[in-house]
Structure 1
Amino acid sequence: MKTTTASVFLLFIIFSITPSSFSFGVANTTNAPVLDSDGNELRTGTPYFVVSSIWGAGGGGLALGMPTGKPCPEVVAQRGSGDDGIPVIFSNSDSNDGVVRLSSDINIEFIPLRPKLCLTTTVWKVDDYDHSAGKWWVITDGVKGNPGANTLTSWFRIEKVGDLDYTFKYCPAVCGTCPALCNEIVRDSDGEMIRLALSTSHGWPFYFKKVETSAMEIQQICLIVSEVFWEVTLSSFLFGVANATNEPVLDIDGNEVQTGTPYYVVSLIWGAGGGGLALGRPSGNKCPEVVTQRRSGDNGIPVIFSNSDSNDGVVRLSSDINIEFIPLRPKLCRTTTVWKVSDYDHSAGKWWVITDGVKGNPGANTLTSWFRIEKVSDIGYNFKYCPTVCGTCPALCNEIGKDFDGEMVRFALSTGHGWPFYFKKVGKSAMEIQQQSFCMKYKPTRHSKTEKPAAPSPCHPSTASLLPSSCSHRSSALINYDGSCRHKPSESLILIFPTHFIFISEFFYLF
């Protein structure tokens, strides 16, 4: 009996002490500081690289990424192994605590090492649900500070997985009454780059490597680089502005850009910066076509330039010019392919650059069709809308930047810096390109088996110099939508509908 009483008393003591000890341990763990790779406490406002704890195939450090099709806001991406990425700084929801602690709400902000390409913030946030990918991506353009319902998507946590290894988690506690997701964060691919996204599994491990340069010094360096890149270079140093105005624009080979000669206009920023400019047709408003951008590696559609001074055959800086696409395929709209600034789009808050402008006749009636080219580097240029063809006309004066209309990358007037491009001369002349486009649309007259055509068609191989080289030896040659060659079958397949004859093997437009 004494033994039983003693055992019960001992169990009572154990179960009385253990819960309080466990709770005390959890509290200490929750408030424990996060440590960097040197074993020192992480400090708010101090820059750190966030690098994968798994080397090699596990990748490198976190950085800003610009997906094709929607470059802004930038996203949280991962660099390759050996690249530490871009530094971040942390901010606590409790601004009185200068130490970053486990399981506490924090803001995370990139401190870019180069000029910002987007006007959005570099503070992390969880994006709206991506239905096409089935993901909650981590992007930028979050809000720093002001913990509460309005900033819920901008708060993250750090959790411990090893001595100096940690994962990120999205499980905000800054609004006690707000429903919120609570998930760890992993690496994922969007088909173009490695990015961070919420996950139902374990988070990806990272370590924090302190940057020797302070956040203020990094920002100062970035500011200096930005000023040099955008302001000093753009004006070719103030000393040379007067002369720079009359300087010729140069193509990528260093030759003067000539009026009437076709050039591709290609993004100076490679990869996520996209490719060349082209015609686009937005859903619901297909005509007139708009100025859009193709993906990286695609040079787009050629343009030709025309000066307001028709006696000058050289395109010059800061001079009024028309810009006109020379399509590589038949036109789908009856409007012109000359650039112009559209009416104000109230729903988007944008002045878009579209087509259907007027070529020549500088003056009040053509004001929206005149653009300028400004220099940003040796062969880098941007476009500006600031017409001087009418001295008494009020007009906007803005550089032209990339923007996204929810469907495609387009170009619009901007209060920021213009997007940089270079000009690549096309091998064919404008006349040859137009002839090719005509041949793609041209449908020759059909003759009986015994009757011979009176003369060769403009697209017959007798005009072989105008056809792609792979087509010039075939009488049955046709030109594809993209300008490449295909060969006509021996018989045209005809589908008969009540009001249409559709020739499947040829382009046949009924206008």
Structure 2
Amino acid sequence: MKMQSILVQLFFFAFLLRLQAIAQTHNLCEVVFDTDGNELQQGTPYYIVSAVRGGHGGGLTVGTRERSSSTTNTPTVKQHSYNMNFGSPVLFTPVPLPSRVKSIAETPSTQIRSEEITIHVSTDVNIRFMEMPGVWQVDAASGRERYVTLEGKSGHPGKSTVKNWFKILLVNASDPASAYRIRYCPGLCESCHVTCGDVGIRKEEGTRWLSVLTRGEFPFVFVKARSNNEAD
């Protein structure tokens, strides 16, 4: 009887682990969508635009701000104050697949090829503006204020690049049609100490800089950047 009880407990424990694995896989499989209702694709340019129209600003671009610890100007991500200005398009590169899905042997090859180009919720990604080499990076050199700069290097997930990875999440996880938010909380380095936070807007003398905040996210949507010869 005692042995039977132990077996039941082991079965229940294994069942819970299986449920957790399914839940994690489900989160990875949630696709990010643009305003046209299409899946966000690696290598395709998009504008990151405020989801709140009116006086809440427009899209994102690059500005320069002076660090308090130096006299050099640092390329930093900022938001246009004019809501009709969509800013500069960005590109997304997800962390390589083996770092996201451990049991790759159980994943169909067709699904693997799709996941290599489709951006998913909660996946670590590099973000960079088109025609600019540096990827977004959390700048810790400014003391308490952690601005988003363009000083990161693409790829090479690990301790040396932990400041270069962001996640795309829904503002309301229970509503797939809600706006998105960007969160700095990389999951690719278990030994790294990271202070997580959402990317929000910090206003300084009329300029809206992107900064990692403990409170207050920047709600946004993705608008596909169309070429001049592409129909609206």
TM-score (norm 1): 0.35
The one-letter code matched in structure 2 to 1:211 is A
Cα distance in 2 for residues equivalent to 1:125 and 1:36: 23
Return closer, same or farther for 1:89/1:164 CA change in 2, 3 Å cut-off.
farther
| Residues 125, 155 of structure 1: 8 Å contact kept | yes
Return closer, same or farther for 1:129/1:18 CA change in 2, 3 Å cut-off.
same
Alpha-carbon deviations, 1:89-113, whole Å to 9, x = none?
A: 000111661111111110000015x
Alignment correspondent of 2:192: 178
| Residues 37, 164 of structure 1: 8 Å contact kept | no
The one-letter code matched in structure 1 to 2:118 is V
Moved over 6 A (4+): 16-20
1:428-507 pair list within 5 angstroms: none
Deviation at 1:68, TM superposition (A): 5.8
1:99-114 pair list within 5 angstroms: 99-112=118-131
The one-letter code matched in structure 2 to 1:109 is R
Cα distance in 1 for residues equivalent to 2:209 and 2:51: 16
Cα distance in 1 for residues equivalent to 2:187 and 2:24: 17
Alpha-carbon deviations, 1:154-176, whole Å to 9, x = none?
A: 11110112515110011112222
Alignment correspondent of 1:42: 40
| Residues 39, 164 of structure 1: 8 Å contact kept | no
Cα distance in 2 for residues equivalent to 1:19 and 1:213: 47
| Residues 66, 73 of structure 2: 8 Å contact kept | no
1:7-46 pair list within 5 angstroms: 24-46=22-44
| Residues 44, 89 of structure 1: 8 Å contact kept | yes
Deviation at 1:180, TM superposition (A): 1.5
Q: 1:90 aligns with which of 89, 92, 100?
A: 92
Q: 1:61 aligns with which of 36, 59, 62?
A: 59
1:140-155 pair list within 5 angstroms: 140-155=150-165
| Residues 196, 214 of structure 2: 8 Å contact kept | no
Deviation at 1:33, TM superposition (A): 1.1
| Residues 77, 195 of structure 1: 8 Å contact kept | yes
The one-letter code matched in structure 1 to 2:62 is L
1:131-170 pair list within 5 angstroms: 131=143, 134-162=144-172, 163-170=177-184
1:330-369 pair list within 5 angstroms: none
Deviation at 1:26, TM superposition (A): 5.0
Cα distance in 2 for residues equivalent to 1:68 and 1:136: 13
SS of the residue 1:150 aligns to:
helix
Alignment correspondent of 1:77: 78
Deviation at 1:126, TM superposition (A): 0.4
Cα distance in 2 for residues equivalent to 1:45 and 1:192: 33
Return closer, same or farther for 1:105/1:20 CA change in 2, 3 Å cut-off.
same
Cα distance in 2 for residues equivalent to 1:143 and 1:209: 25
Deviation at 1:209, TM superposition (A): 0.5
Alignment correspondent of 1:128: 140
Query: Residue 213 in 1 paired to residue 231 in 2?
Result: no
SS of the residue 1:137 aligns to:
strand
SS of the residue 1:181 aligns to:
coil
Deviation at 1:182, TM superposition (A): 1.4
Alpha-carbon deviations, 1:447-501, whole Å to 9, x = none?
A: xxxxxxxxxxxxxxxxxxxxxxxxxxxxxxxxxxxxxxxxxxxxxxxxxxxxxxx
Q: Which has the higher contact order (CA 8 A, sep 6+)?
A: 2
Cα distance in 2 for residues equivalent to 1:146 and 1:203: 27
Return closer, same or farther for 1:211/1:71 CA change in 2, 3 Å cut-off.
farther
More strand by share: 2
| Residues 65, 74 of structure 2: 8 Å contact kept | no
The one-letter code matched in structure 1 to 2:87 is G
Q: 2:210 aligns with which of 174, 179, 196?
A: 196
Give the greater-gyration-radius structure (CA).
Answer: 1
| Residues 44, 90 of structure 1: 8 Å contact kept | yes
The one-letter code matched in structure 1 to 2:135 is V
1:393-408 pair list within 5 angstroms: none
Q: Which runs of 5+ in 2 are unaligned?
A: 1-13, 98-112
Return closer, same or farther for 1:180/1:84 CA change in 2, 3 Å cut-off.
same
Cα distance in 2 for residues equivalent to 1:63 and 1:195: 10
| Residues 161, 167 of structure 1: 8 Å contact kept | yes
1:316-327 pair list within 5 angstroms: none
| Residues 49, 211 of structure 1: 8 Å contact kept | yes
| Residues 48, 88 of structure 1: 8 Å contact kept | yes
TM-score (norm 2): 0.73
Return closer, same or farther for 1:152/1:53 CA change in 2, 3 Å cut-off.
same
Return closer, same or farther for 1:124/1:25 CA change in 2, 3 Å cut-off.
same
Q: Which runs of 5+ in 1 are unaligned?
A: 1-15, 218-511
**Identity percentage over the alignment?**
30
Alignment correspondent of 1:187: 201
Return closer, same or farther for 1:33/1:206 CA change in 2, 3 Å cut-off.
same
1:376-391 pair list within 5 angstroms: none
